[in-house]
Structure 1
Amino acid sequence: MSDVSIGTGKVVVNRAMSLDGFIAGPGHAMDWIFEYLTADTFPEVMAATGAMLVGRGTYEVAKRMADEDTAYDGGGQFVLTHEPPDEPDPTVTFLTCDIEEAVATARSAAGGKNLEILGADVAAQCLQRGLVDEILVYVLPVLLGDGVRFSPSSLGRIDLEPFSNTQSGAVTMLRFHVRK
Structure 2
Amino acid sequence: MSDTDAGLGKVVVNRSMSLDGFIAGPDHAMDWVIEYFREDPFPEVMAATGAMLIGRRTHEVAKRMSDENTGYDGGPVFVLTHQPPDEPEQGVTFLTCDLAEAVAKARAAAGGKNLEILGADVASQCLQRGLVDEVLVYVLPVLLGDGVRFSTSGLGRIDLEPFSNTQAGPVTMLRFRVRK
Q: TM-score range by the shorter chain?
A: over 0.9
8 Å Cα contact 1:4/1:112 also seen in 2: no
Is residue 2:166 matched to residue 1:174? Answer: no
Which residue of structure 1 lines up, in the alignment, with residue 71 of structure 2? 71
Q: Which range moved further: 137-146 or 67-76?
A: 67-76
Task: Report the equivalent of 1:9.
Answer: 9
Q: Is the 8 A contact 2:12 2:133 kept in 1?
A: yes
Distance 1:35-1:4 versus aligned 2 partners, 3 A rule: farther
How many angstroms apart in 2 are the aligned matches of 1:59 and 1:67?
12
Percent identity between matched residues is 81
User: Residues of 2 paired with 1:157 and 1:39: CA distance?
Assistant: 35
Matched, 1:20 2:20: yes
Q: 1:102 to 1:151 in 2, by over 3 A?
A: same
AA at the equivalent of 1:57: R
- Counterpart Cα distance in 2 of 1:38 and 1:94: 28
SS in 2 for 1:172: strand
Unpaired stretches in structure 1, ≥5 consecutive residues: none
Rate the CA distance shift 1:103–1:142 in 2: closer, same or farther, 3 A.
same
Q: Deviations over 1:102-133 (max 9, x none)?
A: 00000000000000000010000100000000
The aligned length equals 180
Equivalent residue number for residue 29 of structure 1: 29
1:5, CA displacement in angstroms?
A: 10
Tell me the C-alpha RMSD between the 2 structures: 1.5
CA distance in 1, matches of 2:98, 2:124: 13
Given that residues 50 and 76 in structure 1 are in contact (C-alpha distance below 8 angstroms), is that contact kept between their aligned partners in structure 2?
A: yes
- The CA deviation at 1:4 is 7.3
Q: Give the TM-score normalised by structure 1.
A: 0.96
1:29 and 1:57 map into 2 onto residues whose CA distance is 11
Distance 1:40 1:26 in 2: 25
Query: Equivalents in 1 of 2:46, 2:108: separation in Å?
Result: 17
TM-score, normalised with respect to structure 2? 0.96
